[in-house]
A = this chain, B = another copy of it.
């Protein structure tokens, strides 16, 4: 095999990556720093880079190179094979979508987004409906251009979770629905309830920021290769090798929100910082999927951060850092409070038991809408009916119902399922860690977060795109992806806590 071809491909891959990271710098600055009047030109700047990026991904020279190398892939190292596989996949995918369609979607996004903001503000679904119609139509055309085997939805899903299909998702989600709905109803009727007022004690922002940064560092976030800032919605973004940024938001009357926010984003950041630096600029140097990414953030936020061992060590630290807010508060009462389960309208504020039912509502509606089995005008009633059935509550209006999420207005269709996949993967991987490190809880209880982090780095993070997501889960856990680990985790934790038969 010609080394020269591999090197040429790697050079092309790096230029694509640098452009993608430049886009991330522009986006990060926009969210954290940019003054408001900078917005219009920033949009132009991002369009210039997006165009250059697209040109390079669909470049026929790249196409020729990946086909040449793909034909001889057996002679390549496993790493080079993975790089060729992924570059070929994104090239073929992007090349199939006509430039006119890419541009029409790009032009529609900001308009649909603006319409969504207005519609949500006024709780006026009808004004957003035409945009939703248009966006779903454009995305159907995109899916048709890309092509699919069984289900048109697969063409979109695949870009966020390579290899995932409706045929694999449906049984997972169906099982989850059957298992989760009774637990949610049982908890709603449980004899024991946490003191939720503990979640709304006042902690000044500086105290929150200091603890959050300390927490991120104690989880292993490398601040020489990253930083933490403030934005409207928390996120994690990679601006370059050695440059992984997280953001958080602070509400002085809701301090635990920033605490779990930073654990979540640091979970993402540890994944990014844990990828083998030798592969920077190549697919092997990138996270494999949104689902695997979310598995890391949710593992830290929920399985670690809402677990008893963690608080055994960390509660005194928090009491001291946030004094006097939690002075004298019983540890067990605090632990119960951070595990409050209560059906609620807003997904991003949902607890870990009800969360996946929020995703289920969206997935079922999105899938049916995309397939033409559901009309846009019937969306609010489909939404409200499912919320009632799954969570036992009904939105007062569309603003806290079908209009709450940004995704559809941005053309992010096929994206929601990755949140639930993240929870399922996370539980399955965490189960594997526990089997391999039997004293993990005791270690976490002593404040040792390094053991878990290094295990995840070694087994998951450093491999980048070596395997497709489902193959990674199989490599790490020895099992096919399966929802039962997640359900067992919930039952074992929330059954005793709420005194119910889960």
Contact = CB atoms under 8 A, between A and B. Distances in A.
A466 to B, nearest CB: 22
15 contacts: A22-B26, A22-B48, A25-B25, A25-B26, A28-B29, A34-B239, A35-B223, A35-B224, A35-B243, A37-B222, A38-B240, A40-B241, A41-B243, A42-B240, A42-B243
A438 to B, nearest CB: 35
A459 interface: no
A491 interface: no
B41 A25 contact: no
A145 interface: no
Given A19-B48, A26-B22, A52-B52, A35 B226 contact: yes
Interface size class of A (residues with CB under 8 A): 35 or more
Q: Is the interface of A mostly helix, strand, loop or mixed?
A: helix
A41 to B, nearest CB: 4
Interface in A15-43: 15, 18-19, 21-22, 25-26, 28-29, 33-42
Interface in A175-229: 222-227, 229
A242 interface: yes
A37 B226 CA distance: 8
A45 B14 CA distance: 10
Contacts of A34: 239, 243
B41 A241 contact: yes
A280 interface: yes
Contacts of A257: none
A225 B34 CA distance: 8
Contact of A18 (B19, B45, B227): B45
A242 B39 CA distance: 8
Contacts of A28: 29
A44 interface: yes
A49 interface: yes
A375 B25 CA distance: 44
A49 B22 contact: yes
Nearest to A243: B38
Contacts of A26: 22, 25
B35 A225 contact: yes
B21 A45 contact: yes
A42 to B, nearest CB: 6
Contacts of A242: 35-41
B14 A44 contact: yes
B21 A22 contact: no
Contacts of A36: 224-225, 242
A38 B225 contact: yes
A33 B33 contact: yes
A28 B38 CA distance: 14
B22 A45 contact: yes
Contacts of A45: 18, 21-22, 25, 240
Contacts of A44: 14, 18
Interface string A232-269: 00000001111100000000000000000000000000
Nearest to A28: B29
A70 B398 CA distance: 59
Nearest to A19: B48
Nearest to A225: B37
Contacts of A14: 44
User: Which 4 residue pairs are nearest across A and B when measured between Cβ atoms?
Assistant: A37-B242, A38-B243, A41-B240, A37-B225
Contacts of A33: 33, 227, 229
A25 B21 CA distance: 13
A48 B243 contact: no
Given A25-B26, A37-B224, 4 more contacts: A18-B41, A34-B243, A42-B240, A52-B52
Given A25-B25, A33-B33, A224-B36, A18 B48 contact: yes
A247 B37 CA distance: 18
Contacts of A280: 41
Given A33-B227, A37-B225, A15 B48 contact: yes
Most interface-central of A14, A18, A224, A227 (chain B CB within 10 A): A18
A318 to B, nearest CB: 26
